[in-house]
Amino acid sequence: MNRIFFSIVLCFFAATVAGQEVIVPLAGNPELQGRDNKKAFSQKDEDNLLLPFFDDFYQDRVYPDESKWDGYDGFQNQDFAVFPITQGVLTLDALDELGRIHSNALPGPSNWISDIVTSKAIRLDSVFSPNPIALHTSDSLYFSFFYQPGGGLGPHPFNDIGTPPESQDSLVLEFLAPGFSDTTWIEIDTVINGVSQTITVVDKIEEAWDYVWSSEGMVLDSLILETDEGYYFKQVMIPITDEERYFHKDFRFRFSNYVSLSSDVHASWQSNADMWNIDYVYLDKDRTINEQSVKDLAFANKAGTMLSKYHSMPFNQYKENYVFEMVDSVENKITNLDTESYNMIYKYRITNEQGGLVYEYNGGSFIINPYAENGYSSHIPFAKPPAQFIFPISNADSAEFLVSHFLSSDENLPFKGNDTISFTQKFHNYYAYDNGTPENGYGVDGDENGMVAIQFSLNKADTLRGINLYFNEILDPSSDQSFYLTVWNHGDRKPGSIIYEQYELRPEPVDYRNNYHTFILDEPVIINQTNFPNLIFYVGWQKDNDDEILNIGYDRSRDSRARTFYHVNGIWYNSLQSGSVMIRPLLGKTLPYNTGIEQIDQKAQISVFPNPVSGEKLYITSGDDFHQGEITIYNSTGTIILQQNYTPEIVVGHLPSGLYIIRFTDNKGLISTSKFVISK
């Protein structure tokens, strides 16, 4: 699926400029990082699951429910599905359980097995309610699920959520046949009673996993043509009829996906691939092949921000202009998956950090018709309820509020949980257009000095202290780039003059587990009317003579293209993409070091000479009186070449010609970085 870059290139050949924006699949998922390993199958018989088995992945978590699934493969989320059945899906892709590209991943075109999502053991020998009784084929046992290829709609990737699996890739379903085994035999040479012989012995015995179903890779448009009910997911119904193989107490099923990465000329474009979304996994008796409905009324959307422009913003900025920062209404997708209509009640409620009620909206009751007939409910008090309130103002520096939405009915419907959604509205020290979950990567190609700038506007003067950037991982981390972190003021409807820039290296992958990498500015930037007319500023980056894209996280949940600009061939352009670059300016009080204790109040100044250097030694000077700390030298790909305690001169004559970065970290944690060139 990662070969989407070919489509991108073709789409942009028609453009009038040589450089362009690039959207690539998400590479790496920090939400999943931090786990040590997969869980082993260790169920006891008494813990085996009973029928029915059902999971619609509605919970706001990153791993499948541990009470139903073994291991940590698969990413449970509310972001990657296009027009979902209900909130939440399980996404299979090219990432491991730690949210990184699988260690066995290879450049294409060869494919390989990536995620394997396996159920807990399920009792298919008997049911126990209302009375224990053995299960048989006559009990009409069916296994069903909905699936969707990732990648969004349309023939080009402008609005893709991830990217679609190619035709040689696939989603596969298998059933475990307890009591059966696949035995591997091997021949070995041995000596028996003094006679050399070749004998056949058992190499290994494995549980028998039977192939049941698969789908080859495709774009979502192709799947929609195959559905009957207008869903953007397709339902699969599979009867379980082989009593000898499957009607046992340790039955399991599993999904797996075959992935192929691109054989790419740009290492920074090689990333996550071949996504599939799975929903509504359901196994039970007394079902039929024509069963096309479920008695379930649910939210199909993820709860969102109550702010009009941003996903989150500093509390002091909100308080300055709170009336104009609020949305006019909330957008909900409410669905009825049954063939009958139901009378429903909708409310939403705002509570503070102590649980106290701030505001409650009552949308009353209304009859919700089946989705197959009418789609999501269009009843305005439910689908677009007004937001006629403001968050309480206080003297606090930050605040959080819980926004909860509820559906209820007099009917005793069997599936609960997805009739409630919630969102924590955060007012901390940063601005954010994005919701924290990237569906793609973003960068600029075709210009070695290309720039990206994201516009933000303040309600009152403030101090820019740092910038958060979300870096996607790439298959080959040795291609990490250097760049200039940059701040612009406002020009004529686009970025104006550069006010500040700071040379940086793309962080090592170990930093990605923190989701965002924080760059603390060497010198704070005062955002006032003097240097920033109308308090509008831009933050972003400039490439440092590099053909690679920076591959920053890209969130599809909010369209911020009007405030996103890219610069190629000497011209600023408004973004053509629908989404938000995941960059967050940090404002307000002095920011802490990584330790969270010391404060940034000075800069460790460093300079080097001669530059370029053609001799044996490089000399280091500073305007500050420091002598304790560590020197690190990187080459142009970000590889550490030298690391030692500080000395005022360093032998570099053995290094080849090229660009290098030297970084000094003193004993207080202050960092200074500079570039130098070796020319022989």
> What are the pLDDT digits (tens) for 136-150?
999 999 999 999 998
Residue type present at position 523: E
Model confidence at 509, pLDDT cuts 50, 70, 90, reads low
**296-329 pLDDT per residue, tens:** 899 999 999 999 999 999 999 999 999 999 999 9
Helices vs strands, H then E, count in the chain: 7, 39
Residue positions counted in the chain: 680
Give residue 294's pLDDT: 81
pLDDT at 443 over 50: yes
**457-472 pLDDT per residue, tens:** 999 999 999 999 998 7
Q: Which residue has the higher pLDDT, 666 or 518?
A: 518
Which residues, at least 6 apart from 424, have a Cβ–Cβ distance to it below 8 Å? 400, 401, 402, 403
DSSP per-residue string spanning 387-428? ----PPP-S-S-EEEEEEEEEE-SS--S--STTEEEEEEEES
Q: Which residue has the higher pLDDT, 219 or 15?
A: 219
Q: Average pLDDT over the chain, rounded to whole?
A: 82
How much is the average pLDDT of 434-449?
A: 86
Q: Which residue has the tokens 């913003």?
A: 313
Give residue 495's pLDDT: 97
**Measured at the alpha carbon of residue 108, what is the angle toward residues 103 and 112, in degrees to the nearest 5?**
50
Biggest alpha carbon distance in the chain? 98
Give residue 40's pLDDT: 40
Tokens coding 314:
């500093």
29-284 architecture in CATH?
Sandwich (2.60)
User: Phi and psi for 135 in degrees, rounded to 5?
Assistant: -90, 145
- Say which DSSP state 650 is in: E
- Say which DSSP state 654 is in: T
In three-state secondary structure terms, 5 is: helix
Give residue 1's pLDDT: 33
Model confidence at 622, pLDDT cuts 50, 70, 90, reads low
- Cβ atoms 484, 542 nearer than 8 A: yes
Domain definitions of the chain by residue range: 29-284, 315-427, 440-587, 607-678
Model confidence at 121, pLDDT cuts 50, 70, 90, reads very high
Q: Does pTM top 0.85 for this prediction?
A: no
Q: Give the separation between CA 229 and CA 292, rounded to whole angstroms.
A: 9
CA 321 to chain centre: 32
Q: Give the separation between CA 214 and CA 135, rounded to whole angstroms.
A: 27
Tally Cβ neighbours within 10 Å of residue 64. 24
- Cβ atoms 545, 448 nearer than 8 A: yes
**160-177 pLDDT per residue, tens:** 666 788 888 999 999 999
- Cβ atoms 308, 327 nearer than 8 A: yes
Extended beta strands in 508-657, E state: 517-527, 536-543, 552-555, 564-568, 571-574, 580-581, 583-587, 607-609, 617-621, 629-635, 640-645, 649-651
Q: Give the separation between CA 405 and CA 422, rounded to whole angstroms.
A: 6
Q: Give the separation between CA 527 and CA 517, rounded to whole angstroms.
A: 22
User: Domain spanning 440-587 has what CATH number?
Assistant: 2.60.120
Give residue 456's pLDDT: 98
Please give the class, per CATH, of domain 607-678: mainly beta
Residue type present at position 458: L
Give residue 603's pLDDT: 43
Q: Which residue has the tokens 């009859």?
A: 367
pLDDT at 55 over 90: yes
Q: Is-cis flag, bond preceding 52, omega within 30?
A: yes
Q: Which residue has the higher pLDDT, 46 or 13?
A: 46
pLDDT at 476 over 70: no
Pick from 83, 159, 79: nearest CA to 438 = 79
DSSP per-residue string spanning 120-177? PPB--SEE-SSS-EE--GGG--EEEEEEEESS-SSSSGGG-SS-PPPTT-EEEEEEEE
pLDDT at 521 over 50: yes
Tokens coding 375:
């789609």
Model confidence at 98, pLDDT cuts 50, 70, 90, reads confident
Pick from 441, 482, 435, 469: nearest CA to 21 = 441
Model confidence at 183, pLDDT cuts 50, 70, 90, reads low
Give residue 510's pLDDT: 44
pLDDT at 262 over 70: no
315-427 architecture in CATH?
Sandwich (2.60)
Give residue 151's pLDDT: 74
pLDDT at 84 over 60: yes
**13-40 pLDDT per residue, tens:** 233 334 677 766 554 444 444 333 344 4
Which residues, at least 6 apart from 396, have a Cβ–Cβ distance to it below 8 Å? 315
Percentage of residues in the chain having pLDDT higher than 70? 79
Q: Which residue has the higher pLDDT, 584 or 418?
A: 584
β-sheet with 451-457: strand ranges across: 495-505, 482-490, 536-543, 451-457, 564-568, 571-574
Give residue 280's pLDDT: 92
pLDDT at 624 over 60: no
- Cβ atoms 544, 483 nearer than 8 A: yes
Tell me whether residue 384 is exposed, middle or buried, using C-beta atoms within 10 angstroms of its C-beta: 0 to 12, 13 to 18, 19 or more.
middle
**356-395 pLDDT per residue, tens:** 999 999 999 999 999 888 899 999 999 999 998 999 998 8
Helix (H) or strand (E) holding 281: strand 276-284
Q: Give the separation between CA 627 and CA 648, rounded to whole angstroms.
A: 8
- Cβ atoms 162, 25 nearer than 8 A: yes
Same fold, 29-284 and 607-678: no
Q: Which residue has the tokens 């022989």?
A: 680
Q: Give the separation between CA 291 and CA 586, rounded to whole angstroms.
A: 52
Residue type present at position 163: T
**Measured at the alpha carbon of residue 12, what is the angle toward residues 11 and 13, in degrees to the nearest 5?**
100
- Cβ atoms 444, 543 nearer than 8 A: yes
Least confident segment among 169-178, 429-438, 515-524, 525-534: 515-524
Which residues, at least 6 apart from 219, have a Cβ–Cβ distance to it below 8 Å? 149, 151, 164
